[in-house]
Structure 1
Amino acid sequence: MVFIGIATAIGAEFKINPFNGDYFRIGLGVSTFLLCLLFMRHLSYVKTGIITGILSAILQGSLAAGLYYVVFAFGMSRIRKKINRVQPLILGVMVVAIDFSSNMIELLLRGLLLGTNVFHLNEWFLLASIAVVRSYFIIGLFSSISVGQMRVLHAEQEKRIEQMLNVGTGLYGETFYLKKSMDAIERITANSFDLYHKLKEENLYQFSGHALGISQQIHEVKKDSQRILAGLLKLYDTEIVVEMNLEEILHFVVKGNQKYSKMLKKKIVIEQQLEVNYFTTHYIPLVTVLNNLVSNAVEAIDKNGNIKVRVVEEEQHIIFSVMDSGKGIPAQDNDIIFEPGFTTKFSDEGIAATGIGLSHVRDIVCALDGEIVVEKSEDAGGAKFVVRFPVAGIIQGREVDVAFFRNSG
């Protein structure tokens, strides 16, 4: 508050005298005071006005000048809660009224103290004009700075959401495959116990003992997997229902893969065509599926190319299409491309990739009661992946993921 008072008093020294004589001055002090009040709403406006008024009265040698800031601060305290709620135009009208009223009271006090006549129409009009120009200039400056701050906060928030989505999709994939592994372990354990009983019935005690030992070891592996899954589910909280619309999902998928294409030093234009926009709680599996398909398309393009992501609604289904201008996929591979282990990606040393990406996508799509197919892209010339989901399952937010993970035994 003392800082505002000192800054205002110093700013008031840069002044003009609109009337004859030196009994009334207009300086930068009021503009400084108003700007500080707008940005420092946590302070007490009335106390700040009193301190500023005292400092101004001492430096300017005028009690009326100090009274102006007290009245102005009191008026601003009446509208402090409305500063962020009303439009800048309405806020300007309020501040102009406060500024003009404060000037009137200051002039009346000066008239009483100095015995001057302050009731001149042209002078009142000049004061009103100055109040309008000054108030709207400061409010415009305040709004511009506030918009800049909001843009910075929005960019930071978007960055955090993108990071959370990356973590969420990663955890989703890990828990998804860990659950599949646990189901496989459960089946192997059951088969091992069945083998143990059959060998025992055949009086093959040595082999039955080995089968029992294997079953017990596999069961321990399952219990360890359950503990790991429980830890992952604490990080990936499936009970928290958060919605995201399809436009936002596409935005983060496209943004992330544009960065990926730049990292690979490729010039790729990613287009998006959104003809329907629903809110869904299944944004993490959808981001996982689309991100995998689009990143595959980025990798399939050599140096320059185009990728198009299209979302439409047809016959109670939401259809996601990812088309690229890459080399495409041979027709004979269409039936096996979603099988685990299949890959067309090789490193510079000729080492094949793990080939779990598209099988991962297929499993997630099937978990959401959807289907995925690959075909030749007539428009782009490369591959075209088409994913179909029932509209009801996507927009109603059925707890597919929660049920899937809860049945882990």
Structure 2
Amino acid sequence: MEGGRIIRLLKDNRILVLLMAILVPLAGEFNIRPFHDDYRVSFGIPIFFFFLFVIRKIHPVISGVIVGFAVLVLRISLDFFNSVPFDFLLSVRTHIPASIFYIIYGLFFHLAKINRFQQEAEVIGFLGMGVEIVASLSELALRHFLSDEPFSVPMVGKIVLIAFVRNFFVLGVIFSVFKDKKVQEDQKIMLESHLYEVNIHLEKTLQYADEITKDGQELYRRLMRIGSASGHPEVIRHAQDVLGMAKKVHDIKQDNKRIISILSKLLSKKSSPDRIRLDELGYIVVRANQYYAEKLNKEIHISLDTENCELYIDAFTVLSLINNLVSNSVEAIEKKGMIRISLRRRKNWLTFTIADNGPGIQAKRLQRIFEAGYTTKLLERKDPFSGLGLSYVKEEVQKLGGRIEVQKLGGRIEVKSSPDRRETIFTIHLPVERLLRG
């Protein structure tokens, strides 16, 4: 089962994998030899790091094995054409440590979970530096064991310096190349998520408009019967008024149908993926709301914590749910604050927790926050928000067979907590199966 999944992933990413298997070994041939032996410092490692950062669906160890094998084949082939006489075993013994380097690099890249820190360049830099040092020391130790090449403390100092310079140089390039592109992609995904949400609201109003039209027509018929039987012209006039209102609602329904049709076409032509990795979705929400907070001139630190989130889920449903809650937190915080987002998988359930240290929600209002049109922001801050966000979140969560909870720690609702701690916490529990089905 696992083997079949690996083969599928390799097929889906075959162009990137092929590029990696070609470019990394070739880049390794442009090198310097700081210790005047077979140990090389080349452009191969930065390029390999780049591919590990980009090809996230394939396990880093598998990428390491692919590159390690490609490096071994290339270097043995070069020896075959350039060495007279050619000694196959000597060539393998000389170059196998370089292959092991890439496998160990991939292993420790995975163990360090570097891809979890996409927004923290310094963390990635130091983790990447540590991974490179471990892999380089492993290669040097293996060379010393196989060929009795020297291995000393001053060499370790050089390796640390090289790893530091190379990793932070690579990070600068990666972040400068991808920053603008990432912002554009995030904005596109968020826009499509908002369109998805608007489409759901319009479909709901379409249903209500249809019901009101039918009820209006039925009321018109009843009033006409009563008016005709009693001979009261005023009742008949009221019946005509009801029919006029029903016709106006019917016109609204037809307009909504046209808008829904246009939105459906836009969503069907969307360029963003239908499914997205859960932790990547979390990063999109963080980036979008960090930008939103800056736009509102607020100093808000948004942190993300993920656990067992290496699965691909329906993008727009979950994105719209989480983003609604996080943007509510951004709006609730006055000037400075903190928002914590936690995404966790526990067996067959996904749990999303959004906590903020804003002003909180009064106990008397807590039971009403999921009502359509109800908003504490309108009452407390006089902001013209419609109050549809939380009602939408609750309805969508229930459709997916999940549940939503809200707690207030400290402040105006009494729950066990430290006296100086004040947080509003929303927790969503959703079944994994429904999200995977989309």
Q: Which residue of the partner structure matches residue 257 of structure 1?
A: 289
Distance 1:223 1:335, change over 3 A: same
Q: How big is each residue's C-alpha offset from its partner over 1:274-330, in whole Å with a ceiling of 9 and x where there is no partner?
A: 112143442212222212211222233333332211122346221111111222222
- Tell me the number of residue pairs that the alignment of Structure 1 and Structure 2 aligns: 279
Change over 3 Å in CA distance of 1:199–1:347 after alignment to 2: closer
In the alignment, what sits opposite 1:330?
362
User: Paired residue for 1:173?
Assistant: 197
CA deviation string 1:158-205 (max 9, x = no partner): 122101112112211211111111011011011011112222333265
Q: Given the alignment, which residue of 276, 282, 301 partners 2:308?
A: 276
Letter of the aligned partner of 2:437 in structure 1?
Answer: G
Amino acid at match of 1:233: S
Matches within 5 A, 1:381-396: 381-394=422-435, 396=436
Mapping 1:47-66, distance limit 5 Å: none
Q: Aligned partners of 2:296, 2:328: CA distance in 1, in Å?
A: 12
**Whole-Å separation in 2 of the counterparts to 1:269 and 1:152:** 23
**Residue number in structure 2 paired with 1:397:** 437
1:88 aligns to what? 27
Q: TM-score, normalised by structure 1?
A: 0.58
SS of match in other structure, 1:84:
helix
Query: How far 1:393 moved relative to its partner?
Result: 0.6
CA contact (8 A) 1:243 1:279 kept: no
Residue identity opposite 1:155 in structure 2: K
TM-fit CA distance, 1:375: 0.6
1:210 Cα deviation from its structure 2 partner: 3.5
Structure 2-normalised TM-score?
0.55
Matched residues in 2 for 1:347 and 1:368: separation? Answer: 31
Q: Would the aligned equivalents of 1:322 and 1:384 in 2 still touch at CA under 8 Å?
A: yes
Q: Is the 8 A contact 1:310 1:322 kept in 2?
A: yes
- The verdict on how the C-alpha distance between 1:373 and 1:149 changes in structure 2, with shifts beyond 3 A counting, is same
**Percent of pairs with identical residues:** 27
Distance in 2 (alpha carbons) for counterparts of 1:359 and 1:348: 19
- Structure 1 residue 230, shift from structure 2 partner: 0.2
SS in 2 for 1:376: strand
What stretches of structure 2 of length at least 5 have no aligned partner? Answer: 1-18, 32-70, 83-166, 229-234, 410-416
1:201 lines up with 2:225 in the alignment = yes
Cα distance in 2 for residues equivalent to 1:170 and 1:91: 48
Stretch deviating more after TM superposition (379-388 or 237-246): 237-246
Contact 2:300 2:330 in 1 (8 A): yes
Question: Match of 1:320, SS?
Answer: strand
Contact 1:320 1:388 in 2 (8 A): yes
Which shows bigger deviation, 228-237 or 294-303?
294-303
Relative to structure 1, is the Cα distance of residues 206 and 352 closer, same or farther in structure 2, using a 3 angstrom cutoff? closer
For 1:282, the aligned partner's letter is D
CA 1:316–1:82 in 2, change beyond 3 Å: closer, same or farther? Answer: closer
- In structure 2, the partner of 1:220 is 251
Say which of 315, 321, 327 aligns to 1:289: 321
SS at match of 2:374: coil
* Structure 1 unmatched runs, 5+: 1-79, 103-142, 399-409
Tell me how far apart the structure 1 counterparts of residues 343 and 384 of structure 2 sit (CA, whole Å): 32
* Within-5 A mapping of 1:1-150: 84=23, 86=25, 88-89=27-28
Match of 1:370 among 402, 414, 424: 402
Distance in 2 between residues matched to 1:316 and 1:145, nearest whole Å: 42
Deviates more, 1:189-198 or 1:325-334: 325-334
